[in-house]
Each structure stands twice: as structure tokens, then as C-alpha cells.
Structure 1
Amino acid sequence: MTRNDEVRTELPGMDTASLAAPLGPTGRPLRAFPVPAALKQHGPAKIVALCNQKGGVGKTTTSINLGAALAEYGRRVLAIDFDPQGALSAGLGAQTHDVTTIYDLLLNRHADVQEAIQTTGVPGLDIIPANIDLSAAEVHLVNEVAREQILAGVLRKVSADYDVILIDCQPSLGILTVNALTASHGVLIPLECEYFALRGVALLIETIDKVRERLNPAIELDGILATMYDSRTLHSREVLERVVDAFGDRVLETVISRTVKFPDASVAATPITQFAPEHQAAEAYRQLARELIFRGAVA
């Protein structure tokens, strides 16, 4: 039995037609995930942390474009910039100075969450920004009571207003990331199709397991998202194959390919779904949104 045959027999809910479909990059038959039905009401939000301790794997790009794609499907989305570098804020054109940021909400329990929320150029997608001040939060939170649960308390105040809350975590496994995991229902791990990115996934999943045991029993791994995939290189194909072999159905079927359109869209402070709506990269993030809704990871 070949590896592809094994994958075909193990995937749940797969019909005969899907077995005959061409294989995608993950070695599984390509599926067309259905366009989700409109929601009859909004909230409470599913909270998803986009997390990987390695930088440059596509966390912020995914936060921006997944949020925009979900908003296209009628979901109300709040993006939380939880990285002191503020890349998510810059990518969505948010103000980061002389405004209330996530740092203020963490350290001042009297701060108004609504004052921190900014609208973006994407209807249905809002953001709470961050700036370099957030880098001092870990020091200030050390002596706080229940310091791992402070972000959860902040998000409870706005959860009823949104369908999805996406937390763009910093590239570390420090107290800010633990806060994000404690506040979340699920974790999405963007994983660059490169060997060194692969090495840290086991450590991250171990951290998620510890948070589940000690702080947040409800947290689940929503999926591992392969990013920066280049089908022309043997290295990308081999890394993706190893990820699927190791993690099976936890690897999402959607794969985000490498393209120069992403940095171009970042410079324009616009999601790829608006910057180049017909490009295959925009469609990939729409497919990601459909797949996560299909899996029940988000509403």
C-alpha cells in the first residue's frame, strides 16, 4: 500500500468521488470546501491564537488575510495584535501611537476595550493594535495575580460582539503567548515549509498540552497550516510530506504558496483579498476560511 493510499483510507467522511479526485500538495485528494451559509446572529466568538515560536513563518500574513476572508463570508472578526513589533497593526493600517492599545488593556483594568478597537478598510474586520510598549508587558505581568489569564478577561468583554477573534502572537513561548493560549478555544500553527521551522513544532504542541492541563482544558489544536510552499523545490515537498506523516489530519488541506503578492499587499496595508482579489493567494485564504468553518474551528 502506498503512502497516498494510506492517507485516502484514513480521512473521515471521504466519499468515492473524493478518492478519484487529483491529489493536493498534502498528498490528499483535493476537496472543494463549501461556501458557508450566512450567520443568523453574531457571537459569542471563537477565539483562535495563531502561534509559532519561530518568526517569519506567516503568522501575521495569515492573521490579516484569514480575518479578511472570514469577513467576506459575513463573519464579524476582531484581530488582536499581540506582538510588540506591531506588524499586524501596520498590515491593516491601524494607528498605534497616542491611542489605546492591547498593552493598556493588559495593565490597566479600568481601560475601555471599546476605545481600543479600530475599524479597518475591510468591512467586518476590526483590530486592537499594539506597539513597542507591549515588549514591557512581560516584566509588568510577572507580579500580577493570575497573570496568565489577563487577556482572557479582556476578551470576555467583547466576545459577544464578534464571531471570530484572531490573536497574532509574538514569536516566543513567553508569558504573552501563554496568555493568548489561555484565552483561546483553538490554536492555528502556521508552518513554513522549511526544515528549521519544522523542528520547533513538537515543542509548541508540548506547550499547548501543558496549557490544556494546567490553565485551559478547552483549548484544541485547530490545525497546522503549511505556508510559503514552493512546489518547484524538492525541499518544500519533502518538508510538507514529513509534516503530514507526523501530524496526519491535523495538517490542513489548504496550503499557502509563496508569492511576491504578499509583501506587495503588506506595503499597501491591505489584505491580499482586496489587493489582488483574483490572485490564487487570495483564493487560498478564502479556502482556508472555508476549511476552518467546515471543520468547526470557527463559526
Structure 2
Amino acid sequence: MALYEHLSELYGLPAFACPEDPTAVDLPAPDSVAWRIAVEIEDEEDGWRKQFERFCAAVDTTRVRALIVGPWDEPFDKGPDAEIEALLAARDRLPALRALFLGDMVSEECELSWITQTDVTTVLRGFPELEEFGVRGGTGLAFPALRHEHLRSLTVQTGGLPVAVVRGIGASDLPALEHLDLWLGTSWYGADSEPADLEPVLGGARLPRLRHLALRNSEIQDAVAAAVAAAPVVARLEVLDLSMGVLTDDGATALLGGQPLTHLKKLDLHHHYVTEPLQQRIRATLEPAGVEIDLDASDVDEYEDSDGTVVRYVAAGE
């Protein structure tokens, strides 16, 4: 699956693309939208910073609550270090900022696994009041362990999530975190974690308020599902999301044989390779308890290789 649409909202606010000349049009109220700052790739050197300066000059940034960082100058060659530096330099002008997404790009701008990232914890350390943070792209991505008191939602979208990032997130103290969404990806694009690396997350000791857990888009989705089936954190979840990956009957059977999931509000398994009999068992087990279940598999694709091996794909790779 390729990504064809930009974010439509952030922090509950509709996304609004800041025009190249923000003084030439009527702008929405600063606190009514999530402002998307982006430039044409390879348009001009340091183009994103210049666009950000135009935005800051035209908008009352003291009221801005959400920012979306779109493409910077050459995201397939360099990470957003200069863009992060510009954001940090302006933090005194952004006292109300509570949400930030770094790397909102569609496939025609830069494929998911081509996006170059950096140590994104500099953003979290620089904005200690952030409540929502998201990042797209796994190449060069780093997330050393940290403590952040106010972060409620963390999203990491990759075609291949490095194990160091998985471990860094697991070792972080995030006492306010309610929503964690990790796209684990495939080894072809750099994923090298194993279920054991998720143990700190699945144990939940550092995530006392976690209610929505998504571990998805994984080529080892069956093994992840088996680990989740016995994970202590599941008992306090409202939403469990194991979608977008290569989930088969083995993973579904492990889930059904593990701890009860009838307390969930939603179980999301869309984009899967589970056979109809197992799907019926999942529905029969959970639907009577009122659990919303997503078992859509309309977008999956598989084929048999020349040696007889069945090849299956995650939803978002390249």
C-alpha cells in the first residue's frame, strides 16, 4: 500500500495547508486548524525554513495548537534537523503548541521507506507540553529513552522500524500516554525487532494510562499477536490494533487462546490473511460482548512463488 493522502486532521483540528504567501489570502483563526507547513521537494535550498518564517510572520503563533511538517527540501537525502532547529528556535512563540506531526508526505512526494528522519526526541525535549506527536519514515530514525510528562499520543509510521527505536520507546517513561501506534514494517525496509523487544510496552509498567495500543503493519504479525495474547497491558486496553500486517490463522488462534478480549471496545485486524472459519470464531467470541471488530481484507494480496512459497505483504512497505 502506498500513502496517497496527507493528514486530514491533527489534535482534533482539520489540517490546513499554509499557502506560499500567507498574506495574500484570508486565513483561518490560528487555533482552529492544524497548520501544514510544506514546500516542493528540491524547490529551493532551505525552503521549509523560509516558508515557516513566512507563516510565523503572518499568523498569531501564540494561539497555534497543532503543526504538521510536510516535505522539506530533500527528505530522501537528509533528515529534518534544520526544520527541527527552526521549530525549537521558535518555541517561545509557540506557547500553545500541543501537537506536532513530522513527515506528512504521500508516495508521489517521497515513499514511506525513503523518508530520512533523525533523533526526534529533540522535539519532545524541546516541547515538554506536547500532548500528541507523530513521525513518518524510519530511515535514520532515532528515539533514545526519555521521560515526557504530558505526551498522550505517540505515532510512528514506518515501512521498517529499527529495533533501537522500539527499545527506546519501551524504555521511555510516558506516564500520560494513552495512545501508542507503531508501524513495525518488514526486514526488507529495516525492521529488525522481535516480540521480545516489545516486552516493556506489553508489560505496561511505564505506560499506566495506555488505552489504545497499535502494533501493526508487521511481517511478524503472528508472533506479535502471540506475545500480545499474554501481555499484562491488554487488560487495561480499550482498543487493540494488530492490523495492516501478515496476520494468519496462527496469530488469530493465539489471540483466541490467550487472555479474554471481551472487555475491548474495538479489535482492529483489517488487512489480514485469516481464513473464514477463524474469522467466524473471532466474531462469535467477541461480538456478543459488544466488541467492534474490523476484519476487512479487501486490500490484501498474496501469490505463490516459483518454489511454492506463499508470499504475503504488509499494507505499507515502500
Does 1 or 2 have the higher relative contact order (CA < 8 Å, sep 6+)?
Answer: 1
Structure 2 length-normalised TM: 0.31
**Which structure's residues are more often helix, by fraction?**
1
Structure 1 length-normalised TM: 0.32
